[in-house]
Structure 1
Amino acid sequence: MGTTAATASQRRGRGGRERILAAAARLFATQGINATGMEQVAEEAPVSKRTLYAHFRTKNDLVIAHLQGLVLSGATLESVLTREDIPPRERILKLFGRPAADTAPVRGCPFIDAAAEFPDPESAVHSYAREQKLRMVQLIAALVTELGCREPVALAEQLATLADGAASRAMVLGEADYGRHARAAAEVLLEQALPGTT
């Protein structure tokens, strides 16, 4: 089957939604969300524009589905916090580890990136990003509560701020293991806040 025939077959075949999301993920990661047009996503998928808009009526719908897919896949900074095979303290410290996938360029937090590209706090994308960042604090607070912290929300906010800051600096500096600096500060915070660790 020639390349043209294979492409035509893909366009008509099943799995259009998955191909659209995969194409959007690649394009958003390499050139940003706002710089990526819907026609470019359709071409990259490849699907017809009709198929694209049948699955995602607006670009906002596509962006939110992309972010939801990252959450479900465990490909976000916060995903380590729900891993029950790792002790609570180590889950928190893994927020500051090197990303599992060595990609170039180094990417920051996709929720912070999305909120920056959709600065209106009332927009659907910004709202979804905010929900995920609030969820991150809730997950950390639950873990430090389990560890015996008396002021879990304050500590969780401090640790989340460190993790988000480290992810952002890693992206700006192109330094995947930048989180090691924040991890040292996180260890001090945990030692001071948790009973029996000082």
Structure 2
Amino acid sequence: MSAKAETPRTKATPPVRGRGRGGRERILAAAARLFATQGINATGMEQVAEAAPVSKRTLYAHFRTKNDLVIAHLQHLASSGATLESALTREDVPPLERLLGMFDPTAPDAPAPVRGCPFIDAAAEFPDPASAVHSYARDQKLRMAHLVTALVTELGCAEPEALAEQLVTLADGAASRAMVLDEADYGRHARKAAETLLAHALPSTP
């Protein structure tokens, strides 16, 4: 009899919010949406919890501070293939096409408005160079330059570091203008400039 009496109660009490399975992923997805639409600093932790949806206790169990959440958000983007850097690590694409891939829309099917580089955006919202978020964004931009340097070195460039800085400056500038102008394929202009730089800097093939 006692088992029958407990059955309805067991079925009626699944947690609606809690740390349960997928909570971290829901938090990151909600944060990504809110950060993209209204900015990082304008988004409160309570808003993220409500949008996830999870309890505030669950939110803070996964991310003790807002900075922890922002850095986890940026780390997720870095590993998702939705950033400029993702084009540089595609081993199924020749080095030259990887370089030029920086100027292609990173998410051509994404709904408007167009977003710029999330690392530049984050650094702008956390302008103190010593802050954890700014430092992480800087590390990602340095990694981008390192990847480009390796590729132009592989292609035989005599001054790879200088060329790499020119190319990443073009890519970051194009991404920023694409966001300001809300023009997803704005990178086509920078791609032409990159092709000219590469043609002059790389050895000609016989």
For normalisation by structure 2, the TM-score amounts to: 0.90
- Residue 98 of structure 1: how far off its partner (Å): 2.1
Q: Counterpart in 1 of 2:189? A: 181
Name 2:125's counterpart in structure 1.
117
Note the residue ranges of structure 1 that are not aligned, 5 or more in a row. none
1:91 aligns with 2:105: no
Amino acid at match of 1:28: F
Post-superposition offset of 1:103: 2.4
| Runs (4+) off by over 6 Å | none
Alignment of 1:52-91 (within 5 A): 52-91=59-98
Structure 2 distance, partners of 1:30, 1:112, is: 16
Superposition deviation, residue 148 in structure 1: 0.2
What is the aligned-residue RMSD (CA, Å)? 1.8
Number of residue pairs aligned between Structure 1 and Structure 2: 194
Aligned to 1:46: 53
Indicate the residue corresponding to 1:129 in structure 2: 137
1:146 aligns with 2:160: no
TM-score of the aligned structures, taking structure 1 as reference length? 0.94
Percent identical: 80
Q: What is the CA–CA distance in structure 2 between the aligned matches of 1:119 and 1:93, rounded to whole Å?
A: 30
Instruction: Report the equivalent of 2:8.
Output: none
Q: Deviations over 1:120-149 (max 9, x none)?
A: 000000000000000000000000000000
Aligned residue for 1:84, secondary structure, equals coil
How many angstroms apart in 2 are the aligned matches of 1:60 and 1:107?
Answer: 21
1:9 is paired with a residue of what secondary structure?
Answer: coil
Q: 8 Å contact 2:19–2:58 — kept in the other structure?
A: no
Q: Which has the larger radius of gyration?
A: 2
Q: Unpaired runs of 5+ in structure 2?
A: 1-11
Which residue does 2:114 correspond to in 1? 106
Amino acid across the alignment from 1:180: R
Shift in Å, 1:99: 2.7
Give me the whole-angstrom Cα distance separating, in 1, the residues matched to 2:127 and 2:196.
33
Higher deviation after alignment, 44-53 or 160-169:
44-53
